[in-house]
């Protein structure tokens, strides 16, 4: 598969088949992703791979915190504190597409909350990954980590697997770090669902739009 095709085909999958993913396959994808560039070759990525009982236990703890109304406390602010255009419109359009694919009315807060809770189960994918970096690393390592994550997801497409990168899995950061037995000072960046796509599921059918390069690029000759 050409890299350009894999990049275009990649999309966030939110319904997976029950088919398990071999641990050897996950190891292969991680080894491919490890070739991503990083400043001064620091390779700041740290990864936890959860399946089976471990995944179920952590997902249950996060879900219980959410259902109890406990306020999320992520290690960093992922989104703007005050939304502005064009980002606000893009966010709304994305959410509208998701809920429309499920037939959820925008006023149905109960159904929306139930769908949001699926984030904390990694959408019931057979594999959940969590990503963090040591507390000595600084903002530049976020760039490195982004390239690592994209490399992993593109390699997954090439292997016939599907992913969904998830900021939501890092919302209850201290809870997750306690479960994984990693330092509280570490920076939990995000999680990811991994598995085989349920290509028949309605939620996997919609695609978000992308801006043409002329809208975000300036050429200086």
Q: At 107, is the pLDDT very low, low, confident or very high (cuts 50, 70, 90)?
A: confident
Asked if the structure places residue 114 within a domain, the reply is no
Rounded Cα gap, residues 120 and 124, in angstroms? 9
Question: Residue 102 has what pLDDT?
Answer: 87
Beta-sheet pairing, 187-195 with 127-133: antiparallel
Number of domains in the chain: 1
Task: Give the count of alpha carbons within 13 A of 26, CB side only.
Answer: 20
Q: Which domain holds residue 19?
A: 3-81+119-208
pLDDT at 106 over 90: no
The answer to whether the CB of 67 falls within 8 A of the CB of 134 is no
Domain assignment present for 97: no
- Per-residue pLDDT band for 147 (boundaries 50, 70, 90) equals very high
102 occurs within a structural domain: no
Residue 106 lies in a domain: no
Looking at residue 183, which CATH number applies to its domain?
3.40.109.10
Is residue 176 in some structural domain?
yes
What average pLDDT does this structure show over 209-213? 94
Say which residues have a Cβ less than 8 Å from residue 113's Cβ, sequence separation at least 6.
none
| Mean predicted lDDT score pLDDT of the chain | 96
Q: What's the rounded Cα separation, in Å, for the pair 188 and 134?
A: 9
CA distance 8 to 77: 28
Summarised one tens digit per residue, pLDDT across range 25-66 is 999 999 999 999 999 999 999 999 999 999 999 999 999 999
pTM for this prediction: 0.94
Q: What is the DSSP string of 103-144?
A: T--TT-HHHHHHHHHGGGGGGG-SEEEEEEE-TT--THHHHH
Residue 11 lies in a domain: yes
Cα 111 from Cα 113, distance rounded (Å)? 5
Decide: 153 and 3 in contact? Cβ < 8 Å.
Answer: no
pLDDT tens track for 168-198: 999 999 999 999 999 999 999 999 999 999 9
Q: Is residue 98 part of a domain?
A: no
pLDDT tens string 88-100: 999 999 988 988 8
| Residue 92, domain member (yes or no) | no
């Amino acid at each position: 598969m050409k890299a350009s095709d894999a990049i275009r085909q990649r999309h966030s999958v939110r319904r997976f088949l029950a088919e398990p993913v071999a641990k050897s396959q996950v190891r292969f994808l991680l080894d491919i992703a490890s070739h991503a560039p990083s400043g001064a070759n620091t390779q700041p990525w740290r990864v936890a791979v959860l399946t089976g009982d471990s995944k179920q236990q952590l997902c249950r703890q996060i879900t219980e915190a959410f259902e109890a109304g406990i306020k999320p406390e992520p290690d960093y602010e992922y989104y703007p504190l005050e939304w502005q255009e064009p980002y606000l419109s893009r966010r709304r359009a994305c959410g509208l597409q998701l809920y429309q694919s499920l037939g959820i009315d925008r006023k149905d807060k109960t159904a929306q909350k139930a769908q949001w809770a699926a984030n904390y189960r990694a959408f019931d994918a057979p594999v959940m990954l969590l990503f963090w970096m040591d507390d000595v690393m600084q903002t530049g390592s976020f760039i490195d980590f982004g390239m690592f994550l994209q490399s992993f997801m593109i390699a997954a497409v090439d292997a016939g697997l599907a992913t969904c990168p998830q900021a939501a899995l890092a919302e209850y950061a201290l809870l997750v770090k306690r479960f994984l037995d990693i330092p509280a000072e570490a920076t939990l960046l995000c999680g990811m669902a991994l598995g085989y796509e349920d290509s028949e599921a309605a939620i996997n059918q919609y695609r978000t739009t992308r801006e043409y390069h002329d809208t975000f690029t300036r050429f200086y000759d």
